[in-house]
Structure 1
Amino acid sequence: MKNFALILGITGLISFTTKAQTIEEAIKHLDAERYTAATKAFNHLAETSPNATTLFYKGYSILKSPEGVTPQSLKLAEEAFQAGDATEKRGDALCQVGLGMVKLANKDFAGAKAIFDEVKKSTKSKNTDVLFRIGEAYTMFPNATDPAEAIMNIDLALEKSKVKDNPEYYMAKSDAYLIKNEGGDAMNALQNAERIGGSKLGKIYEKMARVWLQGRNYKEASEVIDKGIAADPTHAPIYKYQSSFLQTMGKYGESAKAARKYLDNSDGDCKAKLRYAKLAFVAKDFDSVKKMVEEIKACSSDPYVYRMQGIINFEEKKPEEAITELRKFIEKVPADENPALDYGYIGRSYMIMPGEGDAKKMTDSLGILNIEKAVQLGDTTFNYYQDLFSTFVARRDYANAAKYSEKATLAKKDANAADYATVGTYYSAAQNWNKADEYIDKALAEYKGLWPDGYALSARVKTYKNSGDSTFSANYSVAPIYEKYLSLLDDAAKAEKKNNRNVSEAYTYLAGKEFLINKDVNKAIALIEELLKFDPENEKAKAQLLAIKTSAGLIKETP
């Protein structure tokens, strides 16, 4: 796989207290995306001390949660803000801003602005927290943003001298600049927040990491990620950006570890679990993926679970299970996803299924059918034809080995001499002399004399190709090829045992041609005698020499 070592022995999450006694502790959970702990903490505060502040944060935490814009959650948030507003005789400005946030979440810009304008009027724009929350509201909901309004209101808040030391204002301002895709201004705002620091450094560095990563400033991103973890190792979002950074660097195992840390320090919602599983999968930590997949099934119908399970089954040599899971993925494949890879794995699964005889032929044919489908759909994850070639070589099925070696070669943009030589050699082994001859000639043309054995093979193939001719006339072109072969070997090479067959064939063929076609007995004898210098125990050559001399009358036949 393009590749496609990692971790995940832990499936449980670190347990954070849900009995926070202060708003600051509850907000820390919210910032760290521990939404369950934050919700319990804010609910506890609102129940034990029901006032405008605790009820505002109860509604605010609902809006900041992953389910914050569902009809049910918006209703609960609205009820909390209304209850908080009712605790004050003249109403509570922050809870009224909260009601404006609900309007924005519902994409009611006019309704939200009417509430915000009324609150600003009633507070004479002197309440800096109100101005800040109005500004923040315009950045909270992806489908209902107004960065210009956000910046204007936050700048109004920052004009008040008492709030210049609140990093939250600058972080909200940076969010507004990011919506405008103005990374430089966003970073300037965050640097102001960093200067103030305090207990928010983990969150500040998290936001800096986001900006640097979006701008592909990887060195700076890595530095602020390390700072963020050092400042607050329980701040979960920083690990998301660390994981993203490491994934960009191709460090999938380390990326999965960071994704695991995000899960351990956050609520670990289904989406995060799925992302972790995918990273662990790429890192081939299959045991961890299998454990996590069981958790994902309970909260998600994402079809990629089937793909991961199928491929893991293949890797664990469970082809039937692999085929079942991969077919499930293909049935549910998203419209924008190409299932080519899955057809490839199904094909490869069929190819490794046990069996023999007709049963094996059937699974092989299904394997090839699916692999051809993967290739047709454009999958390049594997060199499928090369894999089929290797499979059939191992089975000594040289006809199929040659066929898929040829397909692998034709699929290359820059096929070379070695590719052609391989195809030709296996077509020769399969006794397909025409194909063998074609590809060996291509290889020799590319090698330009660097493949001596290729000339011997070429001559042999041409001989078999014209095996019906006993006069050498059809094979006349073979002689120069054998001569070329011998010319590329020195005397030591001609005497090497590994070359015995080729050297013997070359000399005996040339001797036969001289004797039968050219009628040159002396030259025929000289060629055989030269062969016997390099291979003195060659009985076939001895017999040929005796036959030539006897036929020429140089030796009398033994009665």
Structure 2
Amino acid sequence: MKTQLTILFLSGLAGATLAQVPTPDANTLMNLGRFDEAKATLVRNAQQNPSVQTYFDAGYGYLRAGQPDSARIWFFKGIPLDEKRIPLNQTGSAITYLVKNDMTNAGPKLDEVVAKSKGKNAEILFRIGEAYTGYLTPGNGSIKPIYPKVVNAAKAIDYLNRATERDKKNPAVQLALGDAYYLNNDAGTAVTRYESALELGMNASRVYQRIGDIYWQGRNLNLAVENYKKAIEANQNYAPAYNQLAELYFLVNRYKEAANYIDQYVNVSNDKRQETLLRQAQFHFLAKDYQRTVNLIDSNRTALAQNPIVYRIEGWAYSSLKEPQKAIQNITTFLEKAPDKAMPDDYKYLGNAYLGIDNTGSDSLKAINDSLGILNLTKAAPFDTTENLYSDIAKYYYRAKKHPQAVAALDSAAKHGFKADVQDLFRYGMSNYTLGFQRDSAGKLVRDTVRFALADSALALAQKASPEYAPTILYRAKAHYYAYAPEEAVRNGKAKPYFEQFISLVADKPDERTRYKKDLILAFKYLISYNELVTKDASARNEWLQKGLSFFPENKDLAKIAAPETDTVDQ
């Protein structure tokens, strides 16, 4: 379920001018999920400055990246340099077995390093305790362990508390304790430990981001944003907070803000990974900044070219930009490259693109493109729960005078739970009205009373939404009139109120009178006949006759009615 965001947009941050961005350190790179860059930095440092710590850091980088076997190689290199009672790299090596859930090897090896350090070295206790958290890694609105199978909150808390007893001022231990308590479903204590890490000098941005992540998991989005804001205030170049803000705004459908913050994240982090650039383009598409979407893809073509999803996003954007040929080219390429990833929206945008092609001067080409457009919309329509594509299909068929297909499309819309708008109702009514005139095998006109009834029902609903729309009223009158033989239609009087209303709406307007001349004459003839055959009201009959003649003095039918002996009404 989408959660509503009730905080003000961080306008002061969104438009901030960012200082020149320094190269992130390895720890920050790991927090960003950019493990390849972090490993490269740490390995280079180990090669240039071999020591207990640099070898451990290189192994730790691989460990955090989810590559324990590679991590073990670097820990092995550092083991000969370990101090006797501080077996740091030996601890790292033992942890590589732990995270692989290889307890046969992990148990004895961990016991050995604890014994060597006599269970008193804070660093060794800290590293083991942190390992039992599975290395929580925040990102994209989540905070999850890299090694979920090894997570043991109770053991993590035990080791980390023992480390705290021996080093009360280590902020890294407090941060790891916050992670452990979070995993123990104690978010309140987790936040307290994070705050302790801050008091002890931990990087403020990192702590505030961690607190923000905890609040996000608890769906307290106000406090999550507040802490991300604090993270950025502490360091405007702290990229993870921008990324989390982008994802949070995405979660609550505020796509413009999401796009704004992911732009700032990319600017600050210089993160050019394919998945990041793709996410950036997606956010701008959702924000309906289609030109920016296309520009981002074009400017990162080399990095993105191997991912077929790029063609989808660009195709959808071009479809929305009313550049149908480019839309068709990109979406078709996507469907060719990744047919197994096709989804209904691909066919929706492809269908709209075909329907949007300018076919000026070529009726045959228009027919082909329109046919392809409808074919693709038909593929998408049954699966689209938010947009009534059946309405678009019906509009096309209605304009093409393919009334059975128009009616079928609108019937499908109703079956799929879409509520017809006034235009749908009018088209449904008019298509059924047209289909009311059938021919038998001999070519004789046969009135389909069911179709006329369906027409009137739909037009009645349309009239409620637009009470004085003349065509709706006119065709309600004609549906009631043509559903019966002429004299029966007059005698039952069902068309009478609609013909009267139609005359009142258009007869006094010269342009409308010209437009609806034939229909107005039919209306006058009907009302004249009704008062002659049903009410026997000569005065009313004469009044309608004279009014009709005043508007259409040259009409031969009205002139004949005015003669002594006349027919009642013509079909």
What is the TM-score normalised by the length of structure 2? 0.77
- For the residues of structure 1 that align with 2:248 and 2:386, how far apart are their CA atoms? 24
- For the residues of structure 2 that align with 1:84 and 1:545, how far apart are their CA atoms? 110
1:481 to 495, 509, 529: 495
Partner of 1:505: 522
Written as runs of structure 1 = structure 2, the 5 A alignment for 1:400-415 is: 404=409, 408=413, 411-415=416-420
Contact 1:86 1:92 in 2 (8 A): no
Partner of 2:331: 326
Partner of 1:193: 197
The size of the alignment, in residue pairs, is 514
1:358 aligns with 2:364: yes
Partner of 1:384: 389
Written as runs of structure 1 = structure 2, the 5 A alignment for 1:103-118 is: 103-118=97-112
Residue identity over aligned pairs, in percent, reads: 25
Deviation, structure 1 residue 122: 0.9
- For the residues of structure 2 that align with 1:102 and 1:451, how far apart are their CA atoms? 78
1:120 aligns with 2:114: yes
Q: From the superposition, tell whether residues 186 and 477 of structure 1 become closer, same or farther in structure 2 (CA, over 3 Å).
A: farther
1:539 aligns with 2:553: yes
Q: From the superposition, tell whether residues 333 and 299 of structure 1 become closer, same or farther in structure 2 (CA, over 3 Å).
A: closer
Structure 2 letter corresponding to 1:373? K
1:183 aligns with 2:199: no
Q: From the superposition, tell whether residues 31 and 409 of structure 1 become closer, same or farther in structure 2 (CA, over 3 Å).
A: closer
Deviation, structure 1 residue 60: 1.3
Deviation, structure 1 residue 204: 0.6
Written as runs of structure 1 = structure 2, the 5 A alignment for 1:11-50 is: 16-17=22-23, 26-27=26-27, 30-31=30-31, 35=35, 38-50=38-50
Q: From the superposition, tell whether residues 296 and 425 of structure 1 become closer, same or farther in structure 2 (CA, over 3 Å).
A: same
- For the residues of structure 2 that align with 1:122 and 1:358, how far apart are their CA atoms? 86
Helix, strand or coil for the counterpart of 1:476?
helix
1:524 to 532, 535, 541: 541
Partner of 1:438: 454
Partner of 1:10: none
Contact 2:45 2:54 in 1 (8 A): yes
Contact 1:56 1:80 in 2 (8 A): yes
Q: Deviations over 1:45-83 (max 9, x none)?
A: 434432211221122123224xx42xxxx4543232122
Contact 1:151 1:173 in 2 (8 A): yes
Structure 1 letter corresponding to 2:496? Y
Q: From the superposition, tell whether residues 117 and 270 of structure 1 become closer, same or farther in structure 2 (CA, over 3 Å).
A: farther
Partner of 2:90: 96
Deviation, structure 1 residue 172: 1.0
Partner of 2:61: 61
1:204 aligns with 2:207: yes
Contact 2:344 2:380 in 1 (8 A): yes
Partner of 1:244: 247
Q: Deviations over 1:427-455 (max 9, x none)?
A: 55788585455222443378579558445
1:280 to 281, 284, 287: 284
Q: From the superposition, tell whether residues 91 and 305 of structure 1 become closer, same or farther in structure 2 (CA, over 3 Å).
A: farther
- For the residues of structure 1 that align with 2:349 and 2:469, how far apart are their CA atoms? 40
Partner of 1:5: none
Partner of 2:175: 171
Deviation, structure 1 residue 331: 5.5
Q: From the superposition, tell whether residues 423 and 95 of structure 1 become closer, same or farther in structure 2 (CA, over 3 Å).
A: same
Partner of 1:129: 123
Q: Deviations over 1:272-305 (max 9, x none)?
A: 2332232122123344444554647647854422
- For the residues of structure 2 that align with 1:339 and 1:126, how far apart are their CA atoms? 58
- For the residues of structure 2 that align with 1:298 and 1:273, how far apart are their CA atoms? 8
Contact 2:171 2:202 in 1 (8 A): no
Q: From the superposition, tell whether residues 300 and 282 of structure 1 become closer, same or farther in structure 2 (CA, over 3 Å).
A: same
- For the residues of structure 2 that align with 1:264 and 1:284, how far apart are their CA atoms? 21
Structure 1 letter corresponding to 2:174? Y
Q: Deviations over 1:367-386 (max 9, x none)?
A: 2222111123x123432122
Partner of 2:6: none
Structure 2 letter corresponding to 1:551? P
Partner of 2:5: none
Q: From the superposition, tell whether residues 227 and 483 of structure 1 become closer, same or farther in structure 2 (CA, over 3 Å).
A: closer
Contact 1:60 1:77 in 2 (8 A): yes
Partner of 1:222: 225
- For the residues of structure 2 that align with 1:397 and 1:147, how far apart are their CA atoms? 69
2:477 to 441, 459, 463: 459
- For the residues of structure 2 that align with 1:133 and 1:436, how far apart are their CA atoms? 81
Contact 1:456 1:481 in 2 (8 A): no
Partner of 2:52: 52
Structure 2 letter corresponding to 1:285? D
Contact 1:225 1:241 in 2 (8 A): yes
Contact 1:14 1:264 in 2 (8 A): no
- For the residues of structure 1 that align with 2:524 and 2:250, how far apart are their CA atoms? 62
- For the residues of structure 2 that align with 1:41 and 1:493, how far apart are their CA atoms? 81
Structure 1 letter corresponding to 2:56? F
Helix, strand or coil for the counterpart of 2:526?
helix
Deviation, structure 1 residue 224: 0.4
Structure 1 letter corresponding to 2:192? N
Q: Deviations over 1:243-284 (max 9, x none)?
A: 122112322122123223333333443332332232122123
Runs of 5+ consecutive residues of structure 2 not aligned to the other structure: 1-18, 136-145, 438-446, 567-571
- For the residues of structure 2 that align with 1:78 and 1:504, how far apart are their CA atoms? 95
Contact 1:425 1:436 in 2 (8 A): no
- For the residues of structure 2 that align with 1:446 and 1:17, how far apart are their CA atoms? 64
Q: From the superposition, tell whether residues 199 and 156 of structure 1 become closer, same or farther in structure 2 (CA, over 3 Å).
A: closer
Q: Deviations over 1:182-201 (max 9, x none)?
A: 433322322222333x2511
Contact 2:490 2:529 in 1 (8 A): no
Q: From the superposition, tell whether residues 328 and 90 of structure 1 become closer, same or farther in structure 2 (CA, over 3 Å).
A: same
Structure 2 letter corresponding to 1:527? W
Deviation, structure 1 residue 527: 2.8
Q: From the superposition, tell whether residues 272 and 104 of structure 1 become closer, same or farther in structure 2 (CA, over 3 Å).
A: farther
Deviation, structure 1 residue 34: 5.7
Structure 1 letter corresponding to 2:344? A
Contact 2:297 2:304 in 1 (8 A): no
What is the TM-score normalised by the length of structure 1? 0.78
Q: Deviations over 1:308-352 (max 9, x none)?
A: 1221232344434434443454466597x6711112222222222
Contact 2:246 2:259 in 1 (8 A): yes
Partner of 1:342: 346
Q: From the superposition, tell whether residues 325 and 508 of structure 1 become closer, same or farther in structure 2 (CA, over 3 Å).
A: same
Contact 2:255 2:287 in 1 (8 A): yes
- For the residues of structure 2 that align with 1:277 and 1:147, how far apart are their CA atoms? 38
Q: From the superposition, tell whether residues 547 and 213 of structure 1 become closer, same or farther in structure 2 (CA, over 3 Å).
A: same
Q: Deviations over 1:137-160 (max 9, x none)?
A: 222232432222211110111122
Helix, strand or coil for the counterpart of 1:233?
coil
Structure 2 letter corresponding to 1:423? Y
Partner of 2:81: 87
Q: From the superposition, tell whether residues 281 and 112 of structure 1 become closer, same or farther in structure 2 (CA, over 3 Å).
A: farther
Contact 1:428 1:436 in 2 (8 A): yes
- For the residues of structure 2 that align with 1:545 and 1:270, how far apart are their CA atoms? 77
Structure 2 letter corresponding to 1:134? I
Runs of 5+ consecutive residues of structure 1 not aligned to the other structure: 1-12, 19-24, 554-559
Written as runs of structure 1 = structure 2, the 5 A alignment for 1:423-434 is: 423-425=428-430, 428=433, 434=448
- For the residues of structure 1 that align with 2:285 and 2:116, how far apart are their CA atoms? 56
Contact 1:32 1:235 in 2 (8 A): no
- For the residues of structure 1 that align with 2:219 and 2:406, how far apart are their CA atoms? 46
- For the residues of structure 1 that align with 2:421 and 2:250, how far apart are their CA atoms? 35
Q: From the superposition, tell whether residues 451 and 477 of structure 1 become closer, same or farther in structure 2 (CA, over 3 Å).
A: farther
